[in-house]
Chains A and B, each alone.
Chain A
């Protein structure tokens, strides 16, 4: 067992956990924040994506004890039912989901991904490494490839992310 203190969605949390507890299980089973989903539990599907220290990560592939002092944002911390985050509103508007299981991960991933583009981080499809990447459909597809949607709502997910990227929502 180890003690760990972290901030989740702005709230300070002190936990005492088995060292084996993943960040994902700490969020779901100990803090009862069940918005973050467990899909494959091996970093392949992206359903567990959260934002740690401003960066999107797979919460299934990290241990809670390795996040001492970190600030974590989950889907519950992005918006509320009364006041949706623009990305949440765009997914609703564009019908960017069917069953909804991958959606919290898709939305957390998309929010942090837009920051990566703003920061000028290149991707596999960026044509010129020395210029600032543009938010094209190809760029969104490539950058979101770590989030799988079994219902294949991809075209609407891309539309939602594009709208937010263009500042239309």
Chain B
């Protein structure tokens, strides 16, 4: 690990000032991914700003009947919150499907959104990776690509976003609240928060330098049956091969987002009109532009089958 200086801050203004003073700084909260990457010298901040002292650990109702989740709310606490369990089941389920008990106790809402891909070529500094070193190439495209993305890919990168939580937030139309180094705030719809790789795969999100996530807001409850269905290589503590976040109403209308298939949570709103026709039609629409490798082409069929299983589970929940 490279040496760094360290400070604790108490307010978003202090955090912003610290980031402005130290161009090579990173905010740190849950540590579960950043510290890993620092040990491998993939992340090399010269200064760490510990934001855990900020009062951003509450879940509060909003004026329009939704919830405002503080950036520092731990994954365990968010999954266990009574309102989240009752009104946003897909979010509670997605959180419980991710990581381990120990990691969920550390990981924060904002940090979960900002975690980096788990592409093995990104982690192996002996391998080419455009996300790690832009212009070095992609080891995965002609390499071992079973885990990798099938839609929204580019010639530069086929990495997936690893978060389960983000897939649920996408289907719930969450909004990411931030504060910039100059004190200005923005509300970023989750659909626009994560980027596709294009020719700049080293940039994961639209956050600007020194911009800090303060909260994630959920609109008023969507109702319906809410399902998070995750398929992985072992029954627990593994990243998704494919996951489906689903909200279905009694009349058959609904929303669906996919994990494990793209550089961001994958949702195509127009595909949702196909929901009454069943999984095959929706999957075909969602993956119309898919460009899988030989090794991950199985994900196309797996999406259809996982969605079918999620729809069946939703039907069972509505009986």
Contacts and interface: CB of A to CB of B under 8 A. Distances in A.
Interface of A: 2, 18-20, 22, 41-43, 46, 49, 55-58, 61-63, 65-66, 68, 109, 112-113, 116, 119-124, 126, 129-130, 141-147
Contacts of B3: 18-20
A123 B35 contact: no
B39 A68 contact: no
Interface residues of B, number: 35
Contact of B85 (A62, A116, A122): A122
Contacts of B4: 19-20
Q: Which of B1, B6, B52, B100 has the most CB of A within 10 A?
A: B100
B93 A43 contact: no
Contacts of A63: 6, 31, 35, 48
B101 A65 contact: no
A42 B102 contact: no
A113 B85 CA distance: 19
A56 B105 CA distance: 7
6 contacts: A19-B5, A63-B31, A113-B101, A122-B80, A123-B96, A146-B100
Given A43-B32, A58-B106, A126-B96, A146 B237 contact: yes
Interface in B1-19: 1, 3-6, 8
B102 A146 contact: yes
B50 A119 contact: no
A41 B237 CA distance: 17
B76 interface: yes
A153 B124 CA distance: 32
Given A130-B85, A145-B100, A61 B31 contact: yes
Interface in B89-104: 89, 92-93, 96-97, 99-103
A54 B224 CA distance: 36
A43 B236 CA distance: 15
Nearest to B48: A19
B317 to A, nearest CB: 10
Contact of A142 (B48, B86, B236): B236
B109 to A, nearest CB: 16
Nearest to B89: A129
Interface of B: 1, 3-6, 8, 28, 31-32, 35-36, 39, 48, 50, 52, 76, 79-80, 85-86, 89, 92-93, 96-97, 99-103, 105-106, 235-237
A122 B102 CA distance: 14
Given A42-B39, A122-B96, A129-B86, 8 more contacts: A18-B3, A22-B35, A58-B103, A61-B103, A62-B35, A65-B6, A129-B92, A146-B99
Contacts of A57: 102, 105-106
Nearest to B237: A145
Nearest to B77: A121
A136 B236 CA distance: 16
A37 B36 CA distance: 17
Contacts of A46: 100, 102
Q: Which of A18, A62, A143, A146 has the most CB of B within 10 A?
A: A146
A14 B35 CA distance: 23
Contacts of A20: 1, 3-4
B102 A56 contact: yes
Contact of A121 (B32, B79, B86, B93): B79
A126 B236 CA distance: 13
Contacts of A43: 32, 36, 102-103
Contacts of A18: 3
A62 B237 CA distance: 19
Contacts of B39: 41-42
Contacts of A109: 101-102
A31 B77 CA distance: 31
Contacts of A123: 96
A137 B3 CA distance: 45
Nearest to B85: A129
User: 5 tightest A-B contacts by CB?
Assistant: A146-B100, A145-B236, A145-B237, A121-B80, A55-B105
